Structure 1
Amino acid sequence: MEEKNTNYIVGRNPVLELFKTEEQIDKLYVLKGETKGSIIKIINQAKERNIIIQYVEREKLDYLSNGLAHQGVVAVVTGYKYSEISEILDYAKEKGEDPFIVILDCIEDTHNLGAIIRTAECAGVHGVIIPKRRAATVNETVIKTSAGAALYMRIAKVTNISATIDELKKHGLWIYGADTTGENLYYQSNLRGSVGLVIGAEGKGISRLVKEKCDGLVKIPIKGNIESLNASAASAVLIYEVERQRNESKG
């Protein structure tokens, strides 16, 4: 596992989800005088785990949350731990399932990244792969936007997406890219078995080298005036189509 720098987990629900994980929580900042609703549950759980609780003014929380809605609580964690690709594949094997991995080609918007991770976690995706450079990484905004799903999802950060695709192919995965030039509509494509689904950057799509590595390109029909869906919306459509086909094949 690779450690990321300290993160601030912002908001009541993300902090409650954080308590369900094995993540090391260094400190909890709570708004002075805040004693209503789920904040009591958060404080009690922090005390049970011997977590340092510091009661602070709203200005402190506003600063730590960097503009996000903190709802009176911010947790400080040691750092997000990224997974290895082998860990993602091992997880699928442990579940007795064909691997299903979402590969993000330079998604730069943290809100899109968080939304994609949330969908992937809900749909049972085994892991998400992101590049180390020129792309959003997991931070407090991503964790907040994902509603805490990033704390459960196995996320690998790699140097080269193209080389990673070659590695996944050696493990038997078929790689499909989402692209407006795709030869087949997504629901007419066979997305069963071991699958890697590539989603490109907002407004740019999948890079040429990565596109050439794909076994096939699939497209979502667009009937309006806008040329394409944003990355998180397209991901949701395609992830659940893969899940639908996987469920059908089980039946």
Structure 2
Amino acid sequence: MEDQTQIFGLRAIIEAVTSGKTIDKVFLQKGLHGELFNQLESLIRAEGINTSYVPVEKLNRLTKKNHQGAVAQISPVEFHDMETLILQIVESGETPLFLLLDQLSDVRNFGAIIRTAECTGVHGIIIQKKGGAPVNGDTIKTSAGAVFKVPICKVDHIKDAVFYMQASGIKVVAATEKTNQTLYDVSFKEPTAIVMGSEGRGINPSILKVVDHKAKLPLLGEIESLNVSVACGAFLYEAVRQRL
């Protein structure tokens, strides 16, 4: 099933990038060469666009059209500037609550998190430009439209966002099992950003080294972890409980 947020063909993608379209990801055919292909490669590299080199069969599954070895996913939302957004929230007098997603890979988890974020008053979601789930049709559907209501920002590295949050007076809390402290031991009443990790790896160790607090959910059964969107919901609603 083709996604309305897709474009295909070398010239079409080049035109989309040069005209300022927000491209989430480009899929390029492995082993392909040529002047136009090389031009597209150079362009997306210069723009820092997330790229995957895939077999032609993958491209054929993405679209039935003549893709010429390239398919791009266009974001259906406009991304916000993180620094501007933080300044706006701080100046508004509200107590900031942000989410930092460290390379979450599943679009349905991403959509579910956005939906919960909207319901819990999150002021913005920060994602990394490369390595994370795109904002596509599945994200929109799973978020129940919340993707159009919660500001989403893209940064080069999540660690940079952590440092900027801290410099702005926002405490950064990592949701991780690598601690003895539970989320009920942490105060969410002051300006806070919560970091959630990817489904398989969790939060990058380099990020865990620089956060202000680490907190985990108490698990009373035999399974060692929760789905990331469920865990995120528990953290956000504890923040809501404390702030009410």
TM range (shorter): 0.5 to 0.7
Contact 2:76–2:135, Cα closer than 8 Å, also in 1? no
- Secondary structure at the aligned position of 1:196 is classed as strand
Which residue type is aligned with residue 224 of structure 1? G
Which residue matches 2:168? 171
In the alignment, is residue 156 of structure 1 matched against residue 167 of structure 2? Answer: no
Q: 1:124 to 1:78 in 2, by over 3 A?
A: closer
Aligned residue pairs total 178
In the alignment, is residue 208 of structure 1 matched against residue 205 of structure 2? Answer: yes
* Aligned equivalents of 1:125, 1:86: Cα separation in 2: 16
1:7 corresponds, among 5, 8, 29, to 5
Which residue matches 1:224? 221
- Secondary structure at the aligned position of 1:156 is classed as strand
* Aligned equivalents of 2:190, 2:176: Cα separation in 1: 21
* Aligned equivalents of 2:154, 2:104: Cα separation in 1: 12
* Aligned equivalents of 2:106, 2:142: Cα separation in 1: 11
* Aligned equivalents of 1:179, 1:91: Cα separation in 2: 29
* Aligned equivalents of 2:128, 2:210: Cα separation in 1: 16
Which residue matches 1:54? none
Which residue matches 2:139? 142
Give how far 1:168 is off. Answer: 1.0
Percent identical among aligned pairs is 36
TM-score normalised to the size of structure 2?
Answer: 0.68
In the alignment, is residue 127 of structure 1 matched against residue 124 of structure 2? Answer: yes
In the alignment, is residue 183 of structure 1 matched against residue 180 of structure 2? Answer: yes
Give how far 1:91 is off. Answer: 4.1
When the two chains are superposed, the root-mean-square deviation of aligned CA atoms in Å is 2.3
Which residue type is aligned with residue 5 of structure 2? N
1:194 corresponds, among 187, 191, 195, to 191
Alignment of 1:11-160 (within 5 A): 79-93=76-90, 95-160=92-157
Q: Which runs of 5+ in 2 are unaligned?
A: 7-60, 63-73
Q: 1:117 to 1:212 in 2, by over 3 A?
A: same
* Aligned equivalents of 2:132, 2:115: Cα separation in 1: 18
* Aligned equivalents of 2:172, 2:197: Cα separation in 1: 13
Give how far 1:240 is off. Answer: 0.8
Which residue type is aligned with residue 174 of structure 2? G
Which residue type is aligned with residue 240 of structure 1? Y
Give how far 1:101 is off. Answer: 0.4
1:146-192 deviation line (CA, Å, top 9, x unaligned): 00000011000111111111011110011000011223111122222
Q: 1:223 to 1:78 in 2, by over 3 A?
A: closer
Which residue matches 2:232? 235
Q: Which moved more, 1:124-133 or 1:83-92?
A: 83-92
Contact 1:6–1:78, Cα closer than 8 Å, also in 2? no
